Amino acid sequence: MVVRSTAAPPTPWSRNLAKPKIHESAFVHPVANIIGDVRIGANVIVAPGTSIRADEGTPFVIGENTNIQDGVVIHGLDQGRVIGDDQNQYSVWIGKNASITHMALIHGPAYVGDDSFIGFRSTVFNARIGAGCVVMMHALIQDVEIPPGKYVPSGAVITSQQQADRLPNAEVADQQFAHHVVGINQSLRTGYLCAADSKCIALIQDEIAAKSYTNTGITVLELERSSEVSSNSLGAEIIEQVRYLLDQGYKIGTEHVDERRFRTGCWQSCQPIQPGSMGEAIATLESCLRDHSGEYVRLFGIDSGRRRVLETIIQRPDGIVSAIKSSSFSPATSYSNGNSSYKSNGNGHVASSGALSSETINQVRNLLSSGYKIGTEHVDERRFRTGSWNSCQPIESTSAKDVISALEECIQNHQGEYVRLIGIDAKAKRRVLESIIQRPNGQVAPSSTQKSFSTTTTGGGTSTATATSTRLGSEVVDQVRQLLAGGYKVSAEHVDQRRFRTGSWASCGQIEARSDRGVIDALEGYLAEYTGEYVRLIGIDTAAKRRVLETIIQRP
Residues 246, 227, single domain; the answer is yes
- Determine, yes or no, domain membership for 17: yes
Mean pLDDT, rounded, for 329-337: 36
Mean pLDDT, rounded, for 494-502: 80
Residues 403, 522, single domain; the answer is yes
Of the residues 191, 207, 229, the one at which a domain ends: 191
Inform me whether the pLDDT recorded for 428 exceeds 50: yes
Q: How far apart (Å, rounded) are the C-alpha atoms in residues 380 and 366?
A: 28
Q: What does the pLDDT read at residue 232?
A: 52
Inform me whether the pLDDT recorded for 154 exceeds 50: yes
Residues 340, 382, single domain; the answer is no
DSSP conformation letters of 149-188: TBEE-TT-EE-SHHHHHTPPBPPHHHHHHHHHHHHHHHHH
Inform me whether the pLDDT recorded for 386 exceeds 70: no
Better-predicted residue by pLDDT, 210 or 302: 302
Q: What does the pLDDT read at residue 3?
A: 58
Of the residues 352, 371, 397, the one at which a domain ends: 352
- Determine, yes or no, domain membership for 540: yes
118 Cβ contact list (under 8 Å, min separation 6) = 98, 99, 100, 101, 104, 106, 112, 124, 129, 135
Per-residue pLDDT tens over the stretch 432-483: 777 788 888 655 544 333 333 333 333 333 333 333 334 677 778 878 888 8
Per-residue pLDDT tens over the stretch 175-202: 888 888 988 898 888 888 888 878 777 7
pLDDT averaged over the chain? 78
397 Cβ contact list (under 8 Å, min separation 6) = 403, 406
- Determine, yes or no, domain membership for 228: yes
Q: What does the pLDDT read at residue 348?
A: 36
Residues 169, 246, single domain; the answer is no
Residues 36, 63, single domain; the answer is yes
- Determine, yes or no, domain membership for 206: no
Residues 224, 187, single domain; the answer is no
Inform me whether the pLDDT recorded for 337 exceeds 70: no
Give the rounded percent of residues in the chain with a pLDDT score beyond 90. Answer: 27
Inform me whether the pLDDT recorded for 383 exceeds 70: yes
Neighbour count for residue 253 (Cβ, 10 Å):
17
Inform me whether the pLDDT recorded for 254 exceeds 50: yes
List 79's β-bridge partners, or say none. Answer: none
Q: How far apart (Å, rounded) are the C-alpha atoms in residues 168 and 225?
A: 70
Residues 10, 103, single domain; the answer is yes
Per-residue pLDDT tens over the stretch 262-271: 766 678 888 7
Mean pLDDT, rounded, for 16-30: 90
Mean pLDDT, rounded, for 40-64: 94
Give the rounded percent of residues in the chain with a pLDDT score beyond 70. Answer: 78
Q: What does the pLDDT read at residue 231?
A: 52
* Domain range enclosing 405: 358-554
Residues 23, 60, single domain; the answer is yes
Residues 366, 505, single domain; the answer is yes
Residues 137, 246, single domain; the answer is no
Better-predicted residue by pLDDT, 303 or 333: 303
Q: What does the pLDDT read at residue 4?
A: 63
Q: What does the pLDDT read at residue 380?
A: 83
- Determine, yes or no, domain membership for 184: yes
- Determine, yes or no, domain membership for 208: no
Q: Which of 2-6, 67-71, 145-149, 389-393 has the lowest mean pLDDT?
A: 2-6
Inform me whether the pLDDT recorded for 345 exceeds 60: no
CATH number (domain holding residue 78): 2.160.10.10
Number of domains observed in the structure of the chain: 3
Q: Are 485 and 385 in contact (CB under 8 A)?
A: yes
- Determine, yes or no, domain membership for 410: yes
Per-residue pLDDT tens over the stretch 50-59: 999 999 999 9
Residues 342, 370, single domain; the answer is no
Catalytic (active-site) positions: 56
pTM, 2 dp: 0.42
Of the residues 352, 385, 411, the one at which a domain ends: 352
Residues 65, 185, single domain; the answer is yes
Distances (CA, A) of 435 to 308, 320, 453, 516: 22, 39, 10, 19
Rg (CA), the chain: 28
CATH number (domain holding residue 481): 3.30.190.10
Q: What does the pLDDT read at residue 341?
A: 37
Inform me whether the pLDDT recorded for 95 exceeds 80: yes
Inform me whether the pLDDT recorded for 402 exceeds 70: yes
